């Protein structure tokens, strides 16, 4: 238990450590990824990694709720859908893509808080079930309404003989490599938003609420306000992820936003590591990059469920901090080995 709890100290982007070697390495790696990523990956994998990055944003939200507040939400993919719907709807009105993303963030934030109100009272298994049922409800709604595709009316559906119209990509990201970079930049911004929350006043308050509601109240923390704020931040960033997903192909299909997809994403967060943002990045790849990777290796894609199931068993029994925690342990061990050789 102590190992698990220690690892939830996400000290990323602490102002005092802004220019630590760790941050500089991170910036260099991201910059290199930004520049050479698309040419390194090739056309096919660039598209896959774009979507993986989008899902990493949603995974970071799940990690915040679970790792910092101890809340299990099994409906986050529905919120991606909500963000995507709003972006398509607003984008077809002629708004610039960036503005549509902002509207999606605000709109999804509001909807997320409203549907997340049970989280103020529930936790554990009860909350998991309620969010799963909400995800089921969203699945039905999306199937009925569909996603806007340039048609008229509030729902924006093109019907009958009218040709459906994909939403145009943002000016800065019209080609696939450009859009990969565009998504990377927005994802880094969203990770920054979440990381700054975690390492500052809200993050401390959330950690206190997770530890004990009474202890948090005794420290003068308005627990309702901070829970709502967590829901708003997570929903807004997840809404942006939905917007980026909508911008990728210009169209969305209800089939992508099934309740089961939320469960799968939650599982990948546990496997990747719910206590760090690196874990969220890994989760994004596991959920969207692993199935095509299996395909490329000639393994049937449906085996993903088996693999993730095994991964979860492994994570729960031997690596509660997920792959991210194991990687950190490895880096620490290598670092120690190097320094001990030097002193010898």
Partner 1 sequence: MTGTLTVQNLSVVYGGVKPLTDVSLTFERDVCGLVGPNGAGKTTFFNVLSGFAVAASGTLDFDGTDLLAMNAAKRARWGLRRTFQQEQVIQSLSAWDNIRLTAEHTGGGRSAVDDAVAFVGLEAVDRPGSALSMLERRLVEIAKTVCGSPQLVLLDEPGAGLDQGETERLVGLIRRIPGEFGALVILVDHDMDLVSTVCGTTAVLDFGQVIAVGPTAKVLASAEVRKAYLGTADVEAGA
Among 125, 144, 163, 214, binds partner 1 (CB under 8 A): 214
Q: Count of residues binding partner 1 (CB under 8 A)?
A: 22
User: Which window, 32-40, 52-60, 167-175, 211-219, contacts partner 1 (CB under 8 A)?
Assistant: 211-219
Distance of CA 203 to the CA centre of its chain: 17
User: Which window, 6-14, 22-30, 53-61, 97-105, contacts partner 1 (CB under 8 A)?
Assistant: 6-14
User: Measuring CA to CA, which residue among 261, 209, 264 is closest to residue 231?
Assistant: 209
Residue located via tokens 């792959």: 323
> Does position 22 bind partner 1 by CB under 8 A?
no
> Does position 332 bind partner 1 by CB under 8 A?
no
> Does position 143 bind partner 1 by CB under 8 A?
no
Residue located via tokens 């698309």: 38
Nearer Cβ to partner 1 (67/116): 67
Among 88, 184, 207, 270, binds partner 1 (CB under 8 A): 207
Whole-number minimum distance, CB 10 to partner 1, in Å? 8
> Does position 121 bind partner 1 by CB under 8 A?
no
> Does position 223 bind partner 1 by CB under 8 A?
yes
- What are the CA-CA distances from residue 259 to residues 83, 281, 297, 312, 338 (Å)? 16, 21, 28, 19, 47
- What are residue 152's DSSP bridge partners? 157
Nearer Cβ to partner 1 (15/153): 15
> Does position 174 bind partner 1 by CB under 8 A?
no
Nearer Cβ to partner 1 (150/202): 202
Whole-number minimum distance, CB 66 to partner 1, in Å? 13
Nearer Cβ to partner 1 (42/215): 215
Cα end-to-end span (Å), the chain: 35
Among 220, 318, 343, 344, binds partner 1 (CB under 8 A): 220
Whole-number minimum distance, CB 63 to partner 1, in Å? 13
> Does position 15 bind partner 1 by CB under 8 A?
no
Among 6, 22, 121, 336, binds partner 1 (CB under 8 A): 6
Residues of the shown chain interacting with partner 1 in the complex, contacts defined by CB under 8 A: 2, 5-9, 201, 204-205, 207-208, 211-212, 214-215, 217-223
């Amino acid at each position: 238990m102590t190992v698990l709890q220690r690892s939830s100290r996400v000290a990323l982007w602490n102002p005092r450590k802004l220019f630590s070697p760790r941050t500089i390495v991170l910036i260099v790696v991201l910059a290199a990824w930004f520049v050479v990523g698309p040419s390194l990956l090739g056309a096919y994998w660039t598209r896959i990694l774009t979507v993986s990055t989008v899902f990493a944003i949603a995974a970071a939200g799940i990690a915040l709720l679970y790792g910092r507040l101890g809340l299990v939400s099994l409906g986050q993919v529905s919120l991606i859908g909500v963000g995507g719907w709003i972006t398509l709807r607003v984008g077809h009105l002629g708004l610039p893509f960036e503005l549509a993303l902002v509207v999606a963030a605000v709109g999804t934030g509001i909807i997320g808080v409203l549907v997340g109100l049970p989280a103020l009272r529930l936790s554990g298994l009860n909350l998991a079930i309620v969010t799963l049922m909400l995800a089921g409800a969203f699945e039905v709604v999306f199937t009925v309404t569909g996603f806007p595709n340039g048609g008229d009316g509030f729902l924006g559906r093109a019907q009958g003989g009218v040709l459906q119209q994909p939403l145009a990509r943002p000016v800065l990201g019209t080609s696939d490599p450009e859009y990969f970079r565009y998504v990377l930049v927005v994802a880094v911004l969203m990770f920054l938003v979440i990381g700054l929350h975690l390492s500052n006043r809200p993050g401390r308050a959330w950690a206190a609420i997770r530890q004990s509601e009474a202890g948090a109240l005794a420290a003068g923390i308005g627990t309702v306000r901070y829970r709502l704020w967590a829901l708003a931040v997570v929903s807004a960033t997840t809404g942006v992820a939905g917007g980026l997903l909508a911008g990728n192909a210009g169209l969305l299909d209800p089939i992508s936003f099934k309740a089961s997809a939320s469960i799968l994403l939650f599982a990948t967060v546990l496997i990747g590591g719910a206590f760090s943002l690196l874990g969220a990045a890994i989760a994004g790849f596991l959920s969207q990059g692993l199935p095509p990777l299996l395909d490329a290796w000639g393994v049937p894609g449906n085996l993903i469920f088996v693999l993730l199931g095994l991964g979860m068993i492994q994570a729960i029994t031997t690596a509660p901090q997920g792959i991210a925690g194991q990687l950190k342990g490895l880096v620490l061990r290598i670092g120690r080995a190097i320094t001990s050789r030097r002193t010898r």
